[in-house]
């Protein structure tokens, strides 16, 4: 089966990674405006680089959790694509081979002049004076507020063609995500085969209900929820 898994911060929380933004608009005690916007970059490049260097160093000490590993295991039986809002590399390290990052990747840097110039830096720091091939300062390969997400067209394509859509640990507060996930083959928009849609989260938002009918909600943490999903998937395949 063609399975698309759409993941947010909730899938990495069990590995010890804090959510991108909490209720007071900060990330690791920094204002989002200072470290996650183009204006913040213009104002203080060194602060921004130091912030992401610290996140990168933290990531080097964090391991994929059971949910990441279970999703990777699904590739043994199914055609699985991960679409993630997360900037960590835990899906890849768990063994998933087809991962589309919407908001960039911590382990990469990009040109501040040409965002198509992207470089793998691993867990090493990026410093003032590190430049791209065009001579421009390298910046984090992270999509900031006000910037267009990566891999949008590819994500739409796989969602519109999938047999099963699994959503894990996301608030869906960013408007484009509901439009994208709403493109799944549902009773609302398809006369052909309808995809099965599952949503794993302890407190899932119901914002998708007006776009997609018959969402199956699994109100659990990522690992427990993925285990339950796999049990239901095996029953679905066996029908």
Q: In this predicted model, what pLDDT tens digit does every residue of 161-182 receive, in sequence order?
A: 999 999 999 999 888 999 999 9
Position 41 pLDDT exceeds 80:
yes
Superfamily of 26-61+105-142 according to CATH = SIR2/SIRT2 'Small Domain' (3.30.1600.10)
Which carries the bigger pLDDT value, residue 172 or residue 119? Answer: 119
**Tokens (6 digits) for 201:** 């989260």
What average pLDDT score do residues 117-136 get? Answer: 98
Q: Tell me the percentage of the chain whose pLDDT exceeds 90.
A: 81
The pLDDT confidence band at residue 237, using thresholds 50, 70 and 90, is confident
- Residue 20's pLDDT band (boundaries 50, 70, 90)? low
Selected catalytic residue, list 78, 103, 120, 153: 103
Residue 1, CB-side half-sphere exposure with 13 Å CA sphere: 21
- Does residue 192 surpass a pLDDT of 80? no
Q: Which segment of 7-11, 20-24, 39-43, 108-112 scores lowest on mean pLDDT?
A: 20-24
CATH 3.40.50.1220 location in the chain? 2-16+64-103+149-238
Q: Band of the pLDDT at 23, cuts 50, 70, 90?
A: very low
Delimit the CATH 3.30.1600.10 region(s) of the chain. Answer: 26-61+105-142
Mean per-residue pLDDT, 99-111: 98
Q: Which CATH code, of 3.20.20.370, 3.90.1310.10, 3.20.20.210, 3.40.50.1220, is assigned to 2-16+64-103+149-238?
A: 3.40.50.1220
91 is catalytic: no
Q: Taking the model in full, what pTM does it have? A: 0.93
């Amino acid at each position: 089966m063609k399975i698309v898994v759409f993941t947010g911060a909730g899938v990495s929380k069990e590995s010890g990674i804090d959510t991108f933004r909490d209720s007071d608009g900060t990330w690791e005690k920094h204002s989002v405006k200072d470290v996650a916007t183009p204006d913040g970059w213009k104002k203080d490049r060194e602060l921004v680089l130091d912030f992401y260097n610290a996140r990168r160093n933290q990531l080097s000490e964090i391991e994929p959790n059971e949910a990441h590993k279970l999703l990777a295991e699904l590739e043994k039986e199914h055609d699985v694509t991960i679409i993630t809002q997360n900037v960590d590399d835990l899906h890849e390290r768990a063994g998933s081979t087809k991962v589309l990052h919407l908001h960039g990747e911590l382990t990469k840097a990009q040109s501040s002049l040409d965002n198509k110039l992207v470089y793998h830096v691993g867990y090493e720091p990026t410093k003032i004076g590190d430049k791209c091939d065009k001579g421009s300062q390298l910046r984090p390969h992270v999509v900031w507020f006000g910037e267009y997400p990566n891999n949008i067209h590819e994500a739409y394509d796989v969602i519109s063609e999938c047999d099963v859509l699994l959503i894990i640990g996301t608030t869906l507060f960013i408007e484009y995500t509901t439009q994208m996930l709403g493109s799944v083959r549902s009773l609302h928009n398809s006369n052909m085969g309808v995809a099965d849609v599952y949503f794993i989260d302890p407190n899932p938002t119901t914002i998708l209900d007006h776009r997609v009918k018959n969402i199956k909600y699994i109100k659990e943490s990522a690992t427990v929820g993925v285990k339950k999903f796999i049990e239901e998937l095996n029953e679905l395949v066996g029908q």
